[in-house]
């Protein structure tokens, strides 16, 4: 039996949803990570940047764009001791400027995931997976990176069955 972990980065608070800025008590990616964990079991871990992003959505997007432009290795608050025992890693994040947030890049580069299955999933408001799969492969060239699943952020609260079905399909 494969050992599974769901690792994710998510943004609570002010977010862009269907053309409006709304306050989310729980981030869309967090919801989807929980759907996966309920569907296939395993452990769950949240990547948290070791910095405060602006509560204002537009300012946060500018901060994220600047980090991406500089390819900044954004520090994270905590790492798992190891991912060595896991066979399958579900990796979740919001699509920020066509890829994952730079804290996810920092987290990925902390480990050697050669031979591990990485199944990315992202929430977005229209840009799908963007180039994030390419970024994951660059950060972990020895890993087996699937095509992944893109979830429209506004639909995340109602996507449990879709997300669960996808998660089950990739671990069978």
What would the mean pLDDT of 19-25 be, rounded to a whole number?
94
What would the mean pLDDT of 107-117 be, rounded to a whole number?
98
| Percent above pLDDT 70 for the chain | 100
Q: Are 95 and 123 in contact (CB under 8 A)?
A: yes
What would the mean pLDDT of 55-61 be, rounded to a whole number?
95
120 pLDDT more than 90: yes
Q: Read off the pLDDT band of 1 (50, 70, 90).
A: confident
Q: Are 121 and 133 in contact (CB under 8 A)?
A: no
Tokens standing for residue 14: 């002010």
124 pLDDT more than 90: yes
Q: Are 153 and 15 in contact (CB under 8 A)?
A: yes
Beta strands in the chain (DSSP E): 4-8, 13-17, 20-24, 43-46, 88-94, 117-124, 144-145, 149-152
What is the pairing mode between strands 20-24 and 13-17?
Answer: antiparallel
Provide the pLDDT for residue 104. Answer: 98
CATH no., domain 4-171: 3.40.50.360
Tokens standing for residue 102: 């730079």
170 pLDDT more than 90: yes
21 pLDDT more than 90: yes
Provide the pLDDT for residue 168. Answer: 98
């Amino acid at each position: 039996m494969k050992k599974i972990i769901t690792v994710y980065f998510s943004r609570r608070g002010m977010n862009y949803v269907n053309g409006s800025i709304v306050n989310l008590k729980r981030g869309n990616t967090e919801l989807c990570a929980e759907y996966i964990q309920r569907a296939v079991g395993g452990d769950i871990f949240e990547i948290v940047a070791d910095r405060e992003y602006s509560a204002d959505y537009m300012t946060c997007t500018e901060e994220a764009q600047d980090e991406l432009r500089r390819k900044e290795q954004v520090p994270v608050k905590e790492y798992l001791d190891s991912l060595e025992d896991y066979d399958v890693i579900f990796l979740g994040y919001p699509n920020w400027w066509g890829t994952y947030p730079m804290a996810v890049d920092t987290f990925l580069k902390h480990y050697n995931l050669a031979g591990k299955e990485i199944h990315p999933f992202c929430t977005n408001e229209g840009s799908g997976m963007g180039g994030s799969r390419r970024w994951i492969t660059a950060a972990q060239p020895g890993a087996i990176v699937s095509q992944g699943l893109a979830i429209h952020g506004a639909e995340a609260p109602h996507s449990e069955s879709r997300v669960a079905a996808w998660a089950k399909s990739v671990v069978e």
